[in-house]
Structure 1
């Protein structure tokens, strides 16, 4: 049994190294064949965006100490090849260097920035880069590529690239040490990018923060403004816990007395917001 476990340990790294070599070969073919370049890059992009099949998952989730663990799955338990490879290129930067060099030579081609953003979004923030010009070039390519793939998700109403969005939101913009690794202009571009797509990928975080903010507001005109604007949330797909949290928050403003001590105008505005956001639903919390 111990021999079997020991022999399984190198499987994940060997498998990921093999995948990297295949990616490198396809990029070399694209570089050598201008007439087929776009098709080859599009094929490669589609390949790395695929969800990992069960057979490959068994290998990737092996006992190898470098293997990805179930806790590192992509968003909603969906594990794609780009998720696995992005982690691999942090642990083994040398394996990604030939691929990165080829992508740089193909910068101006369609799908090059898509591929870069999927494979190297973690590498950019977690591997030390000393050249400011290179950082700017890579961060610009990341924003461009991420913009393109997020639009693909919107146009197809899928969330294949949610783990990319979630990493950029949770591990970069909310983590100053990583965010500061890219130039100021790139930081601004990244904030703008995430703000454009946050309603699609993670509207819950906005609603949770809004509910917390509402309960801190004490100035009546400001609170009335918030309660009138909160109606834009109608129809938004939220987790049940988030929806209940918003409903509970609004309900706390409907009764006189503590802990909120709302004025008459605030109570009416809160009821209006509840009735608009949750029509036909009794407000027993």
Structure 2
């Protein structure tokens, strides 16, 4: 009699989840801060990398025309130029701001070396390294603008499917896996990449779950987070974690029925409903903390995209805007207190012009300001029900035009990338004729005008290049067409009072032309000299004439 053992085949998503868990464990167990930063940075590059053809076929995703390149091999240096541009932004929010940036090439570690192993058990290609970019790190001080990116594969145009998109949908369905990742991320709150990784992987798990069980069963202790090959139910039973809030409520009711009130602890004497409310309040406070970390990560990711001139996190933005703020149905957003809710909505609204087209801006601002929460009429009979849902959605969002424009103004003062600023200003041009701008607060309207006018000046505080000055002037004329001629006259008068700004360019232009002509003349002379020397060296040697019979005889001989 033969016995056959059935072995469940591991899906590619589970293999990717195991790799993420393994690297998070390595980062939490690392001894030095440099090792933790290195592993977290490598994980960030992994989950933001684009899927190649083999990975898309295994995951059942549509094949992108820009993803026909083979699998990327990991280089000796984990820190790519794109990772350096995000590092300059993320490290500002690290807990220890005075620490020196670690060198990943000069000081390799055993933990990071072991973390570079790849997943090959399921036949899926290893996690791809994030493609490099030539965009330098954006400076936060005025007067330094990074140029437009030259990598056309990951700039404002084409965008491939990234690994974090697949993992976020996986964690939304597998709540236990999301809990394990959240528990490990709690140990790395002080790292620069902890909040962005948490936002990329767990934004769906935290905001789009139909019930609050995923948050209620989260491990509160930072030391109890672990992950092994045992079943999740067995792990939670051994750790003493109650896997359902309804079990906790039923347990409280049973205790109150069996044990007298005098023998119960102080926190249990108020009855099962009061105890349940205290538990809900504790879980709500912890949920607010998780939402705060999510908001921090989302702001860093969107601001990093704007500073680098990329749209790598457009999928995250579309999820938060379409499925959380404007999506149909109820989400976890209704359970978040108002301050945390406004922070989350502010992070999404600030990136609205960067990820949207100019023609979409009036419609999106109208939906956000009016609170139309993805509701479409189906029949005349449900008009009253639709109106009730719209009022409920309006109360849920609670946004006004002043809040939206204030977020736009704050984002304008933070972008220091030429391509990102041009994209942002071109989207704001779509506000021309927007009805919501008429209800704008005069103070907010004055702030927007002053911010745009500051970008039109060649001097401080931004020292914007010529392209941004022209784009800001076009945006200012589109949003406020009433004072267009007056602004241009005032600008011309100020340019006359400061002739060094334009006379310097007039006098320096011939010098630049002469320098360019002189350099080309010198290059032409050097090229002619090189060709002459090369021709002489390649010329065949001359043959000597044969000597006459008496030419070699000495004089005086007969």
The within-5 A match list for 1:1-285 is 14-35=11-32, 36-61=35-60, 78-127=160-209, 128=212, 129-130=215-216, 131-175=283-327, 177-178=330-331, 179-204=333-358, 205-208=360-363, 236-237=425-426
In structure 1, what is the Cα distance between the partners aligned to 2:365 and 2:171? 37
In structure 1, what is the Cα distance between the partners aligned to 2:337 and 2:161? 30
Shift of 1:198: 1.1
Shift of 1:189: 0.4
In structure 2, what is the Cα distance between the partners aligned to 1:109 and 1:184? 27
Shift of 1:202: 1.7
1:20 and 1:96 in contact (8 A); partners too? no
Shift of 1:140: 0.3
SS in structure 1 of the partner of residue 349 of structure 2: helix
2:195 and 2:296 in contact (8 A); partners too? yes
1:125 and 1:181 in contact (8 A); partners too? no
Q: TM-score, normalised by structure 1?
A: 0.64
Q: 1:148 to 1:210 in 2, by over 3 A?
A: closer
SS in structure 1 of the partner of residue 352 of structure 2: helix
In structure 2, what is the Cα distance between the partners aligned to 1:48 and 1:143? 19
Q: 1:45 to 1:209 in 2, by over 3 A?
A: closer
In structure 2, what is the Cα distance between the partners aligned to 1:138 and 1:126? 14
Shift of 1:210: 6.8
Paired positions, count: 209
In structure 1, what is the Cα distance between the partners aligned to 2:297 and 2:319? 15
Gapped runs of 5+ residues in structure 1? Answer: 1-9, 62-67, 213-233, 250-268, 277-285
SS in structure 2 of the partner of residue 109 of structure 1: coil
Q: TM-score, normalised by structure 2?
A: 0.34
Q: 1:145 to 1:40 in 2, by over 3 A?
A: same
2:24 and 2:185 in contact (8 A); partners too? yes
In structure 2, what is the Cα distance between the partners aligned to 1:192 and 1:148? 13
Q: 1:111-152: CA deviations, max 9, x gaps?
A: 011000000001111222341022101100110001111111
Shift of 1:59: 0.6
In structure 2, what is the Cα distance between the partners aligned to 1:181 and 1:197? 24
SS in structure 1 of the partner of residue 336 of structure 2: coil
2:178 and 2:205 in contact (8 A); partners too? no
CA-atom RMSD in angstroms? 3.3
In structure 2, what is the Cα distance between the partners aligned to 1:211 and 1:118? 28
In structure 2, what is the Cα distance between the partners aligned to 1:69 and 1:41? 29
Shift of 1:29: 0.8
2:20 and 2:43 in contact (8 A); partners too? yes
Q: 1:32 to 1:185 in 2, by over 3 A?
A: same
The structure in which a higher percent of residues are helix is 1
2:159 and 2:312 in contact (8 A); partners too? no
Q: 1:237 to 1:54 in 2, by over 3 A?
A: farther
Gapped runs of 5+ residues in structure 2? Answer: 1-7, 64-156, 217-282, 368-421, 435-476, 485-558
2:165 and 2:315 in contact (8 A); partners too? yes
In structure 2, what is the Cα distance between the partners aligned to 1:29 and 1:197? 33
1:48 and 1:80 in contact (8 A); partners too? yes
Shift of 1:77: 6.4
1:17 and 1:95 in contact (8 A); partners too? no
